[in-house]
Structure 1
Amino acid sequence: MNHFLVGRHKKRLASEIGTIVKPHGGKLRVALAYPNRYHVGMSNVGFQAVYKFWNEIPDIVCERVFLPDADELEEYSRSRTPLLSLETQSPVRDFDVLAFSITFEPDELNLVRILDLAGVPALASERDERDPLVLAGGPITFLNPEPMAPLLDLVAIGEAEALLPTLTDVLRSASNRAAKLERLAEEEGFYVPSLRRASTLVRAKMGKRADFPPPATYVLTPSTEMSNKFLVEVSRGCPTLCRFCWAGYNYLPKRSFEVQRILDVARGARQHTDQIGLVSTAVGAHKEIVPLMEGLREMGYRISVSSLRFEDLRAELLDPISRSGEKTLAVAPEVGTDRLRFVIHKRVTNEQILEKTELIFSRGIENLKLYLMVGLPTERDEDIDGIIDLVGRIREQLLAHGRKRGRVGRLIPSVNPFIPKPGTPFQWHGMEKPSLLARKMQKLKKAFARMPNVDANFKSARLETLQALLSVGDQRVAPVLIRVARGEADLKRAMKEAGLDLDAYIYSERSPGESLPWGYIDNGMKPELLESQYDKARAAALTPA
């Protein structure tokens, strides 16, 4: 056993609260992998909820697996040690099941790397009974799992709470690998790439209510992005239905977790931390958000939120956040003009945004993050100018309130290129070419650089090309994914040598009647509705509320 690697795992475990370690004998052994570093993965509440679910079953042992840090990767390579699980430092390839929780497309590269490190064949067609059953779930899998489908024995499509009972029953009862896959291929929400016929639809299995304990950070650790902060999901879905956003269209109906359930799990964590983060695509849209925050304040929590919609911002919502000591908030103007905001189906004007940001600063919030996008459908030069003007006007508000306090905060615009997402009205629209995106971003960079107290972050348009390909690609992309993950070629070279046209995949507009790689997934949203929304966007029409 490698002393350096085992020691690193034990050091992490020693700093955790809530770790579950179980003996392996006579149990179904599941290695639950988050395809990124420990520092990133341990802030994912969905990943933690699955870990808790499986470990509460007596005859299942579930251990965590992460992409090793850089120095650990060097040691794995030098010593030829197979990838180890966190809890008992057992070889991952010895587990019965290797289950991936995937939230972001670029992490598909890390899926390949984890399989390689574990000594598990990357392609499902090359595995046999000696290998763990490799499956994946998470948001990416019910958008478009096709680029990684040849790597997977099984894909879980839908929400974990709806899928896990059936999945668990079959994994525990079926006699062998083939029997497990054959049974699951007949169940709602499961896709077996090796068994699916081209004409077969796979219906995503989604929940209708939030009548279960909310996903949360049941294992606390200081070694993560949200150090020792207890995170809890408060609601699922978003009523805004922005036309670029997969969450609004795929998490339907919108649901709020019961206040008492949230308070119960928060009460259990309070002895270990006084920091809590409320997680959702629309935290403020929770039907009882104010009573929830008041309950958390009574426990002495310092409250932060992932982001707030402008429609939900009001004094009674902001005051508990400010009184708890939180000084930073995040909002999403997305764009700089009312016209383009209506195109993406966001019902708020620049003047309304400025009213809300004035309210934010007046309630004691000092720093404000602004989520912005470029390259959206119908975008014009004046929309980029609009971003500069809007940020400048919000900055003036920040300065005015900061001077009164004697302490000026920061404005933090975060600018991302638009990437088409399956299952949304903009799934047919191509991504803008990197040269055009770079020009727009450079204009914003120069403008923001001339604004003191503005610290802007920009995603690289070229780096986002890979994410776009994995978002809208098909199974032909799998060999490219493997080669790029292994460092055998960059994306352009790998695509060219595979005989694939990168431009055709991500920069070309698709017609609504065109067959889409993810078209076999039935998420309950009628394609005609998505098409209608796309037509309205191109006509710059706002769908009536």
Structure 2
Amino acid sequence: MSWKIKQQLQNILEQEDGYSVFPAGFRTRFALCYPNQYNVGMSNLGFHIIYEQINSRMDSAAERFFMPEPDLKKQYENSNTPLLSLESQKPLYEFPLIGFAVSFELDYFNILSMLSLGKVELLASKRDENDPIVVAGGPCATFNPEPLSLFVDVFIIGEGEEIINNFLDTYMLARGKNLSRRDVLLKLAELPGIYVPCFYTHTYDDSGKLAAIMPNAEVPTKIRRQWIKDLDKYPAHTIIKSNQTEFSFYLIETARGCGRHCRFCMAGYCFRKPRNRSLEKIKQMVDAVPDRQKIGLMGPAVSDHPQIDELCQYIHDSNHPMSVASFRADSVTQTLVNNLADSGQKTLTLAPEAGSVKLRNIINKGISDENLYTSIDMGIQAGVKNFRLYIMVGLPEEDDSDIEAIISMAHNLRKYMNDHKAHGKLTLSINPFVPKPFTPFQWLPMADMKKISAVLKYIKNTLKKEKNMEILIESPKESYLQGILARGDRKISQMIYEAHLEGGGKKLQRVMKKHDLNEDFYLYRQRDIDELMPWDTLDMGVKKEYFIQELEMAKQQKNTITCFDNCKRCGVC
């Protein structure tokens, strides 16, 4: 085992504050894994929340693992050292429980890399009584676990604060009775919000479509998403402080879920209903932040919090700079923008998603050009010089006029900035649209990649001569790979496995061709409304009829109003 690797991990620990290390033998060790590098994982608030939940118990101890950076990965491989935990530098394979927090589809391949480095059997079906139980939670596990079903024993469906404790209670009890691995998994499968894929058989028809999902007689037919009804019971903030994160903020969650009904947004459905933390509870978290530490407010749209101005004032009076994960152009306030500017934020980010009114109506975005100009006015008044726009291409019903609308919007906003002496940079961050599970667009095909690549090139070439304008484009290849993984079935799980054996994610499409598995089947096929989906074992609480109704509303370019008290439309409440 490499002393040099251990020393590097210990050096990281020395720069942290707030981690926990427990004596060996008294607690069941839980390997908490983030399938990306340290700086990304430690910027994920959900990772901190679950770490604290596991360590707040008297019978369990979480230790962290991350995907090593390339140089460190080579050291692991060259020295034949198994992947080691940060806290105690123990090998991954020694942990009886291994849990992955999965936020992004492109990290799926890192899961297999980490298991391989950790000397853990990759295939759940081949693990024996002495092997760890591998668990996955987070957004990707919640909306479509099937592409990971070959490798993960247990999926946590929904928000984890309560379910992780139910999971651990049941696991400890089952292990205390010396039950077999299968019987432990069966006990876990009986819990609300726990999906154990080995107890569900998927069959396909001659066309390759999913024909049936057959559960074992001992497990539920549907797994209902779990969510926290009262956020105030579970404070959500940075637990381990580190300067080696993406933004070096102390994170505080203000709200969860979103009721805006944007039709492209999986998070808006999988984490519904919208819930705000009370101002008093947020203030208590602010009071615990070290002096002058910058606070990052987290939430689906921080500006939607009903007491956002009071919160901003409180943070300001507490002498903390601040930032926000996101805000909406139709709810942002001057107080919020002033506090961001006073905190040194040099760029305001807005998300119109589309340039045309038509497409904004189709996706139910609810942002008008007037909202954009008003937000820019607020920024200019506060002294902000730079603005960023999030845009998608390949949206449903998009045509050439909608692409021209993006270009016109960029020109007009740039001119408006110049006219108001805001001579900073206008950045357009443009991404191909991916129809996600559990949205009204889940049945729709993606736009053709060649066409989208041409559109992106056209936008960039048209705007490149514009002074102080920057165009950032997500790789179409990565977006379409994301589309396969997000909408994939169990056959894709086998392809991920073989791609890993051949070198990683870049080999996926080659492996699919080798098996005559057409990527068009996953990307470009219009799915029938009554087609069985790979994720249909899961229940987000939203009625299928509601998704169908919203799809029809999109076709008619009709808006859906936001969530309101005593609403019964979608089924969640």
Superposed CA offset, 1:76-96 (max 9, x none): 111111110111110010011
Could you tell me which residue of structure 2 aligns to residue 473 of structure 1?
A: 488
Is residue 493 of structure 1 aligned with residue 513 of structure 2? no
Could you tell me which residue of structure 2 aligns to residue 185 of structure 1?
A: 189
Separation in 1, partners of 2:405, 2:182: 57
Is residue 302 of structure 1 aligned with residue 284 of structure 2? no
Could you tell me which residue of structure 1 aligns to residue 232 of structure 2?
A: 211
Separation in 2, partners of 1:518, 1:67: 27
Residues 171 and 188, structure 2, Cα contact 8 Å, conserved in 1: no
Map of 1:160-179 to 2, 5 A cutoff? 160-175=160-175, 176=179, 177-179=181-183
Map of 1:269-348 to 2, 5 A cutoff? 269-271=289-291, 273-348=292-367
In 2 relative to 1, CA 402–4 (structure 1 residues): closer, same or farther, beyond 3 Å?
farther
Is residue 244 of structure 1 aligned with residue 264 of structure 2? yes
In 2 relative to 1, CA 529–49 (structure 1 residues): closer, same or farther, beyond 3 Å?
same
Separation in 2, partners of 1:289, 1:313: 9
Map of 1:305-454 to 2, 5 A cutoff? 305-402=324-421, 408-454=423-469
Map of 1:250-261 to 2, 5 A cutoff? 250-261=270-281
Instruction: Name the aligned partner's letter for residue 220 of structure 1.
Output: K
Superposed CA offset, 1:194-234 (max 9, x none): 1136342111112222122332221111111112x111111
Residues 110 and 485, structure 1, Cα contact 8 Å, conserved in 2: no
Is there any run of 5+ residues in structure 2 with no aligned partner, and where? 202-212, 215-220, 563-573
Comparing 105-114 with 172-181, which one deviates more in the overlay? Answer: 172-181
In 2 relative to 1, CA 401–302 (structure 1 residues): closer, same or farther, beyond 3 Å?
farther
Residues 302 and 326, structure 1, Cα contact 8 Å, conserved in 2: no
Instruction: Name the aligned partner's letter for residue 418 of structure 1.
Output: F
Comparing 243-252 with 190-199, which one deviates more in the overlay? Answer: 190-199
Is residue 222 of structure 1 aligned with residue 243 of structure 2? yes
Superposed CA offset, 1:406-445 (max 9, x none): xx32222111100011000011111111101101100111
CA drift of 1:166 comes to: 0.7
Local SS of the residue matching 1:311:
coil
Instruction: Name the aligned partner's letter for residue 275 of structure 1.
Output: K
Superposed CA offset, 1:230-280 (max 9, x none): 111111112211100011112121001122222222222223x52111111
Local SS of the residue matching 2:227:
coil
Separation in 2, partners of 1:400, 1:302: 30
Could you tell me which residue of structure 2 aligns to residue 538 of structure 1?
A: 555
Superposed CA offset, 1:34-56 (max 9, x none): 00000110000000110111111
Separation in 1, partners of 2:376, 2:259: 21
Separation in 1, partners of 2:561, 2:110: 42
Instruction: Name the aligned partner's letter for residue 195 of structure 1.
Output: F
Q: TM-score, length-normalised on structure 1?
A: 0.96
Separation in 2, partners of 1:15, 1:487: 37
CA drift of 1:544 comes to: 5.1
Residues 420 and 426, structure 1, Cα contact 8 Å, conserved in 2: yes
Instruction: Name the aligned partner's letter for residue 43 of structure 2.
Output: S
Comparing 199-208 with 411-420, which one deviates more in the overlay? Answer: 199-208
Instruction: Name the aligned partner's letter for residue 13 of structure 2.
Output: L
User: Which one of 523, 532, 553 corresponds to residue 506 of structure 1?
Assistant: 523
In 2 relative to 1, CA 503–154 (structure 1 residues): closer, same or farther, beyond 3 Å?
same
Separation in 1, partners of 2:463, 2:294: 32
Could you tell me which residue of structure 2 aligns to residue 116 of structure 1?
A: 116
Separation in 1, partners of 2:329, 2:501: 43
Could you tell me which residue of structure 1 aligns to residue 158 of structure 2?
A: 158
Separation in 1, partners of 2:297, 2:421: 26
Separation in 1, partners of 2:371, 2:315: 29
Comparing 235-244 with 34-43, which one deviates more in the overlay? Answer: 235-244
Instruction: Name the aligned partner's letter for residue 428 of structure 1.
Output: W
CA drift of 1:294 comes to: 1.1
Instruction: Name the aligned partner's letter for residue 337 of structure 1.
Output: S
Instruction: Name the aligned partner's letter for residue 440 of structure 1.
Output: V
Local SS of the residue matching 2:199:
coil
Instruction: Name the aligned partner's letter for residue 117 of structure 1.
Output: L
Local SS of the residue matching 1:155:
strand
CA drift of 1:536 comes to: 1.6
CA drift of 1:402 comes to: 4.1
In 2 relative to 1, CA 402–85 (structure 1 residues): closer, same or farther, beyond 3 Å?
farther
Separation in 2, partners of 1:486, 1:412: 39
Residues 350 and 372, structure 2, Cα contact 8 Å, conserved in 1: no
Residues 39 and 225, structure 1, Cα contact 8 Å, conserved in 2: yes
Aligned residues: 539
Instruction: Name the aligned partner's letter for residue 339 of structure 1.
Output: K
Residues 270 and 299, structure 1, Cα contact 8 Å, conserved in 2: no
Residues 83 and 92, structure 1, Cα contact 8 Å, conserved in 2: yes
Separation in 2, partners of 1:345, 1:102: 27
CA drift of 1:72 comes to: 0.6
User: Which one of 472, 478, 482 corresponds to residue 463 of structure 1?
Assistant: 478
CA drift of 1:127 comes to: 0.4
Residues 425 and 531, structure 1, Cα contact 8 Å, conserved in 2: yes
User: Which one of 231, 244, 252 corresponds to residue 232 of structure 1?
Assistant: 252
Local SS of the residue matching 2:64:
strand
Local SS of the residue matching 2:232:
coil
Could you tell me which residue of structure 1 aligns to residue 206 of structure 2?
A: none
Local SS of the residue matching 1:333:
strand
CA drift of 1:4 comes to: 1.8
Could you tell me which residue of structure 1 aligns to residue 77 of structure 2?
A: 77
Comparing 42-51 with 249-258, which one deviates more in the overlay? Answer: 249-258
Separation in 1, partners of 2:112, 2:561: 45
Instruction: Name the aligned partner's letter for residue 296 of structure 1.
Output: I
In 2 relative to 1, CA 291–544 (structure 1 residues): closer, same or farther, beyond 3 Å?
closer
Residues 362 and 401, structure 1, Cα contact 8 Å, conserved in 2: no
CA drift of 1:282 comes to: 1.0
Is there any run of 5+ residues in structure 1 with no aligned partner, and where? none
Could you tell me which residue of structure 1 aligns to residue 205 of structure 2?
A: none
Residues 214 and 234, structure 1, Cα contact 8 Å, conserved in 2: no
Local SS of the residue matching 1:393:
helix
Instruction: Name the aligned partner's letter for residue 239 of structure 2.
Output: Y
Is residue 202 of structure 1 aligned with residue 223 of structure 2? yes
In 2 relative to 1, CA 448–4 (structure 1 residues): closer, same or farther, beyond 3 Å?
farther
Could you tell me which residue of structure 1 aligns to residue 132 of structure 2?
A: 132
Q: How many percent of aligned residue pairs carry the same amino acid?
A: 35
Root-mean-square deviation (CA, aligned residues, Å) is: 1.5
Residues 231 and 276, structure 2, Cα contact 8 Å, conserved in 1: yes
Separation in 2, partners of 1:270, 1:232: 13
Separation in 2, partners of 1:171, 1:448: 57
Instruction: Name the aligned partner's letter for residue 191 of structure 2.
Output: E
Local SS of the residue matching 1:77:
helix
Residues 23 and 61, structure 1, Cα contact 8 Å, conserved in 2: no
Separation in 1, partners of 2:234, 2:560: 35
Separation in 2, partners of 1:184, 1:85: 26
Is residue 88 of structure 1 aligned with residue 88 of structure 2? yes
Local SS of the residue matching 1:297:
helix
Separation in 2, partners of 1:379, 1:179: 51
Separation in 2, partners of 1:411, 1:429: 32
Separation in 2, partners of 1:226, 1:356: 23
Could you tell me which residue of structure 2 aligns to residue 105 of structure 1?
A: 105
Local SS of the residue matching 1:18:
coil
Instruction: Name the aligned partner's letter for residue 343 of structure 1.
Output: I
